[in-house]
């Protein structure tokens, strides 16, 4: 197949920052792209051949969009799967497949899938709605504390809550949900697996994530994770096991917990480029975005190894600021060697909104970590007063 | 100044591959961009906020374009300088300045400038037209062999010819030109200097260029150059001297010859991102395109050092092929570790047309050089038969 400067058209469902960074790679290869997003302020509104505004959850919109392209991919899981089923049945390649997406869209199904496939994961229970969960507590079938997760459409801390006592139940929404046993963990790790149409597989190095305690959003992603080689190998093996079970095409980001006794438990997966792989743009031989493209286009996968140590700092909107964004002290951090800001292109900031990220690369991890903290303490995402 | 996700607008004169690679960096910083190019098939027609079709040599077109933006830069030297003068006089920042561009646009003036500034360069003579040059030969003031260069509008081997005897004069165009003494050289080197509005200066490592013997186009660019440290230091010092003399803002690519006795002679300069710096996208901490932006926006310059060894192979149209392009064996080279193709986005190939480039990065230069040759021998830019 001739993708390069040809009539071939790639469709991308979703026009957020992930789509924007995928688009950057399509420009490098000169692949024609069509993008669908519900907002005409979407970060991907530039850089594609055609941008369409429309709901990703609407059957007709997604179906009609799919009819215009030669291959369809996603940058967000929450899309109309019935439309994808129909497109696939009509012969359009859709990667990841609607089958993979259906398994992942619902966190209850996803957890069941791990159990069925002997993939280590924390014990869970599924509930059709909030009253179903409350009944389970009343019957002593579910004990405090537990991690509550809404089964669908949660992201970045939304849709996840630690429930310590009955009082925490009050503000939970009445939706399908799961309750997971709380697992004390030393580290949260992630491995991104790339798998091409023809089945070629490569894994990125294990990364380590540090979370912001309040916002439940990733604060630093550190590559390689500063963990024992044996633990890293185990995490990689389990990520490959998950990849094999899903039989996905494209990237699969596998988030895992490293428990106190060095067990690895799979938390959840994303079948697309992932926040935990943004460091790869600067640090890796081949970025996750390029390898997502290579995988779905059935091109050979690129080298997933790193040239240098990489750390990513998320840029999220500061609490107390809403409106036209200003990146305070961005000049200051740009003066530090190996620091690259990525501004996603959202004009309005809101508390905890993901507005961008900063990558720090260095030959020396200790130095990179020091600089990352300096970056974190310097830059603020605020609004024009 | 707040450039990021703001109303600030950067104008770029020229929409070729250099503009396309600058645009990629503006997207990362979410800077609004306007692009002007004479072709609606220009590689930069995507990825900007607004693309305008119009002649870069037309006063009104360039002037009106300039009135729409907050800062103006170029990706090609051949633009209407009177329009830039007027825009600058009216308060628009133009980087590089029309003064710098005027000095560089004319190769005769450029050579005189080196002589005036005690910058080592090969001896030259200027001629207003072809008959002026012929008269000089008849009067024995100019000896064969010499290098003929048209004074303006030449690029990539066009406008340069080695004249060994009277017979070579027959096909020369009747234009303003210069004759340079032929200098036997060991290496052709280049140093890219970045200089910001506030005068911060950084130099990229010295690169070494190998030319295609027939097309007179660069075949490999190798970073770092495999030369003696002392020669590298001398080349860097001279590049800085040239940069200081021009007092430019933005990048200045300084092409030099290393003579048989290790003298450094300046050949010519380009006040913009340059083919000899394409390797920097994959190999450097900060690419030349990002540093061009940082320089003209008066942001701190990024680290110009390399993470790994880098080699660039130009992808030029194969002789005997014209029409809708096909990149033969591109999948084969993408299977090699550390190989990244950049396809510029020109649908039609022609003999020797610059269609793209491939970067090879590796921790080990010897290995990188081996792979570069494999790449060169594998990929072919041909047309659909």
Q: What is the CATH number of the domain that holds B137?
A: 3.30.1490.20
Indicate whether A2 belongs to any domain. Answer: no
Task: Kindly indicate the confidence band of residue B156, based on its pLDDT and cuts at 50, 70 and 90.
Answer: low
- Whether A97 contacts A87, CB under 8 Å: no
Distances (CA, A) of A245 to A75, A100, A239, A240, B281: 21, 10, 10, 9, 36
- Whether A261 contacts A231, CB under 8 Å: no
Q: Report how many domains make up chain B.
A: 3
Best A15, A22, A46, A380 residue to mutate vs chain B (most B CBs within 10 Å): A46
Q: How far apart are CA A14 and CA A71, in angstroms?
A: 14
Point out the residue among A5, A300, A335 whose CB comes nearest to the CB of B346.
A5
Phi, psi (deg, nearest 5) at residue A176: -55, 135
Res A157: pLDDT = 58
- Whether B31 contacts A342, CB under 8 Å: no
Q: CB under 8 Å to A65, separation ≥6 — which residues?
A: A11, A13, A34, A36, A52, A54
Does B313 lie in the same domain as B170? no
User: Which residues on chain B place their C-beta less than 8 Å from a C-beta of chain A?
Assistant: 2, 4-5, 20, 24, 27-30, 43, 46-49, 285-286, 290, 294, 299-300, 302-303, 307-308, 325-327, 330-331, 334-335, 337-347, 361, 363
Does B291 lie in the same domain as B160? no
Does B203 lie in the same domain as B176? no
HSE-up (13 A, CA, CB side) for residue A229: 0
Q: Last residue of a domain, which of B136, B158, B181? A: B181
Q: Which residues sit opposite A269 in a β-bridge? A: A254
Does A165 lie in the same domain as A89? no
Does B284 lie in the same domain as B321? yes
Res A154: pLDDT = 66
Indicate whether B322 belongs to any domain. Answer: yes
From the list A358, A367, A189, A202, the residue with the least C-alpha distance to A265 is: A189
Does B164 lie in the same domain as B16? no
Indicate whether A114 belongs to any domain. Answer: no
Binding site annotation covers A182?
yes
Alpha carbon of A109: minimum distance to chain B alpha carbons (Å) = 36
A-chain residues near B340 (CB < 8 A)? 28, 286, 290, 302
Indicate whether A32 belongs to any domain. Answer: yes
Q: Last residue of a domain, which of B156, B181, B206? A: B181
Does B222 lie in the same domain as B75? no
Does A149 lie in the same domain as A86? no
Report the complex ipTM.
0.94
More confident position, A242 or B219: A242
Indicate whether B273 belongs to any domain. Answer: yes
Point out the residue among A46, A290, A339 whose CB comes nearest to the CB of B47.
A46
- Whether B62 contacts B56, CB under 8 Å: yes
Phi, psi (deg, nearest 5) at residue A108: -65, -50
HSE-up (13 A, CA, CB side) for residue B275: 25
Q: Is the dihedral angle over the CA atoms A363, A369, A374, A378 positive or is it negative?
A: positive
Does B79 lie in the same domain as B46? yes
Best A20, A26, A30 residue to mutate vs chain B (most B CBs within 10 Å): A30
pLDDT at B155 over 60: no
Q: Last residue of a domain, which of B181, B205, B226? A: B181
Strand order from edge to edge, sheet including B348-349: B348-349, B323-328, B380-383
Per-residue pLDDT in tens (0 to 9) along chain A, 385 residues: 789 999 999 999 999 999 999 999 999 999 999 999 999 999 999 889 999 999 999 999 999 999 999 999 999 999 999 999 999 999 999 999 999 999 999 999 999 999 999 999 999 999 999 999 999 999 999 999 999 999 987 655 578 899 999 999 988 999 999 999 998 898 999 999 999 999 999 999 999 998 777 766 678 999 999 999 999 999 999 999 999 999 999 999 999 999 999 999 999 999 999 999 999 999 999 999 999 999 999 999 999 999 999 999 999 999 999 999 999 999 999 999 999 999 999 999 999 899 999 999 999 999 999 999 999 999 999 998 7
From the list B198, B156, B150, the residue with the least C-alpha distance to B176 is: B150
Q: Per-residue pLDDT tens for B159-218?
A: 889 999 999 998 899 999 999 999 889 899 999 999 999 999 999 999 999 877 676 667
Res A171: pLDDT = 86
Res A270: pLDDT = 96
- Can you give the pTM of this predicted structure? 0.95
Q: How far apart are CA B187 and CA B218, in angstroms?
A: 12
Distances (CA, A) of B338 to B334, B362, B369, B370: 8, 6, 12, 12
Distances (CA, A) of B227 to A242, A280, B102, B243, B282: 49, 32, 33, 22, 22
What mean pLDDT comes out for the span B66-72?
Answer: 98
Q: How far apart are CA A320 and CA A385, in angstroms?
A: 11
Indicate whether A217 belongs to any domain. Answer: yes
- Whether B144 contacts B163, CB under 8 Å: yes
> Chain B residue with minimal CA distance to A327?
B4
CB contact under 8 A, A5 and B308: no
Res A385: pLDDT = 72
Does B300 lie in the same domain as B350? yes
Point out the residue among A29, A339, A343 whose CB comes nearest to the CB of B5.
A343
DSSP B182-237: ---EEEEEEEEEEE-TT--EEEPPPEEEEE-TTT-SEEEEEES-SS-HHHHHHHHH
Indicate whether A324 belongs to any domain. Answer: yes
Does A199 lie in the same domain as A161? no
Distances (CA, A) of A173 to A128, A148, A162: 12, 11, 14
What CATH number corresponds to the domain at position B28? Answer: 3.40.50.20
Does B243 lie in the same domain as B128? no
Best A23, A29, A362 residue to mutate vs chain B (most B CBs within 10 Å): A29
Indicate whether B1 belongs to any domain. Answer: no
Output the known binding site of B for ATP.
Answer: 107, 149, 180-183, 188, 267-268
Binding site annotation covers A268?
yes
B-chain residues near A290 (CB < 8 A)? 340
Q: Per-residue pLDDT tens for A269-317?
A: 999 999 999 999 999 999 999 999 999 999 999 999 999 999 999 999 9
Residue A255 sits in which domain range? 185-383
- Burial status of residue B40 (CB atoms within 10 A of its CB: 0-12, 13-18, 19 or more): exposed
Structure tokens at B368: 């990188």
User: Which residues on chain A place their C-beta less than 8 Å from a C-beta of chain B?
Assistant: 2, 4-5, 20, 24, 27-30, 43, 46-49, 285-286, 290, 294, 299-300, 302-303, 307-308, 325-327, 330-331, 334-335, 337-347, 361, 363
DSSP A77-101: S-S-HHHHHHHHHTT--BSS-HHHH
CB contact under 8 A, A30 and B334: no
Res A219: pLDDT = 84
| Beta strands B218-223; B207-211: pairing state | antiparallel
């Amino acid at each position: 197949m001739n993708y390069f400067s040809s009539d071939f058209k790639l469709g991308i469902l979703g026009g957020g920052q992930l789509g924007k960074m995928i688009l950057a790679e399509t420009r490098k290869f000169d692949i024609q792209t069509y993008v669908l997003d519900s907002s005409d302020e979407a970060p991907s509104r530039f850089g594609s051949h055609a941008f369409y505004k429309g709901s990703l959850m609407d059957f007709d919109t997604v179906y009609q969009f799919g009819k215009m392209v030669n291959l369809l991919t996603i940058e967000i899981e929450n899309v109309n799967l019935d439309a994808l089923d129909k497109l696939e049945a009509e012969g359009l390649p859709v990667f990841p497949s609607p089958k993979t997406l259906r398994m992942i869209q619902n966190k209850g199904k996803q957890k069941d899938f791990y159990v069925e496939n002997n993939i280590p994961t924390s014990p869970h229970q599924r509930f059709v709605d909030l009253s179903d969960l409350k009944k389970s507590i009343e019957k002593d079938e579910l004990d405090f504390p537990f991690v509550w997760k809404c089964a669908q459409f949660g992201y970045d801390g939304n849709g996840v809550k630690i429930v310590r006592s009955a009082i925490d139940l009050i503000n939970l929404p009445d939706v399908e949900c799961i309750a997971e046993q709380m697992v004390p963990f030393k580290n949260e790790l992630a491995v991104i697996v790339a798998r091409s149409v023809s089945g070629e597989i490569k894994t990125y190095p294990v990364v380590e994530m540090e979370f912001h305690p309040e916002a439940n959003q990733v604060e630093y992603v550190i590559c390689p994770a500063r963990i024992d080689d044996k633990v890293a190998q185990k995490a990689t093996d389990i990520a490959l096991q998950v990849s094999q079970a899903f039989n996905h095409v494209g990237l699969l980001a596998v988030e895992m917990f490293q428990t106190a006794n060095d067990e690895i438990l799979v938390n959840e997966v994303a079948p697309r480029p992932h926040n935990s792989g943004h460091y790869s743009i600067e640090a890796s031989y081949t970025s996750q975005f390029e390898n997502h493209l290579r995988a779905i286009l059935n091109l050979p996968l690129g080298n997933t190894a790193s040239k240098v140590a990489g750390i990513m700092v998320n840029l999220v909107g500061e609490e107390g600021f809403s409106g036209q964004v200003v990146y305070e002290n961005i000049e200051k951090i740009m003066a530090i060697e190996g620091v690259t800001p990525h501004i996603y292109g959202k004009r309005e900031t809101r508390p905890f909104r993901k507005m961008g990220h900063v990558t720090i690369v260095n030959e020396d991890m200790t130095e990179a970590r020091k600089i990352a903290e300096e970056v974190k303490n310097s830059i603020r995402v605020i609004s024009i007063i």
